[in-house]
Amino acid sequence: MILVLVAHPDDEILGCGGTIAKYAQDGEEVISIIFSDGDPVHKSKDFTIKRRKESIAAGKKLGISDTVFLGLPDKPFIPLLKDKHILKRINNILNKLAPKVIFTHMPDDPHPMHANISKLVNELTKDRDIEVYTFAITSPLKVKQRDMPRLYIDISDTFDEKKAALKEFKSQEFWLMYYKNITFMMNKIAGLKSHHKYAEVFYKW
């Protein structure tokens, strides 16, 4: 069972969409946990519903079994490690699902909420037998923690599914232009480094 924990809808596709599709095609169950609806501007119920529907539609294109929305406010500096309710909720999810692999944000991601979620996942899994792999979204260059073990996953056969999934986020079409270009460039570079057409690179805690 594979678990993906991310800050906002579309993060799961940008960060590991090709890998999700690959696992799903191999018969693995993949569940996505999304902390925030990512709505710092509109602050409307309709927009939240729209983003959730987009995320579910994108997930279906990749083979995600279920997407769980925690509904937290999109506050970058929210102190997740000090929130007993969130700690308990994620802990309960880990106990119930017992994932063998988790994919989440990098601890040095420049987006504060991404980094906070990464640290939360590390805290709650350090005494569990779970492999945790992290990915970068907003930074095309890996600056810190170069000594972290790297995992390259060949997504040459699932790259088109990743692109198709990202097209589902119509409400974010303008904002995603930059992130899609960066992501596709990173996938191409990772592919070259691992001798594949396209790849996603992860860093192990």
- Confidence (pLDDT) at 190: 94
Q: Are 100 and 130 in contact (CB under 8 A)?
A: yes
Question: What amino acid is encoded at 81 in this protein?
Answer: L
Question: Exposed, middle or buried, 190 (CB in 10 Å: 0-12/13-18/19+)?
Answer: buried
Indicate the helix (H) or strand (E) that contains 204. strand 199-204
Would you identify the CATH topology of the domain 2-204?
A: Rossmann fold (3.40.50)
| Digit-coded pLDDT (tens) for 111-169 | 899 999 999 999 999 999 999 999 998 665 554 555 678 899 999 999 999 999 999 99
pLDDT value at position 30?
98
**Token reading at 144:** 């810190």
pLDDT value for 40: 58
d(CA 58, CA 130): 26
Domain locations along the chain:
2-204
- Measured distance CA(63)–CA(23) in Å, rounded: 9
Task: Give pLDDT < 50 ranges for the chain.
Answer: 143
State the average pLDDT for the chain: 91
Render 62-110 in DSSP notation, one character per residue.
HT-SEEEEEEE---TT--GGG-HHHHHHHHHHHHHH--SEEEEE-TT-S
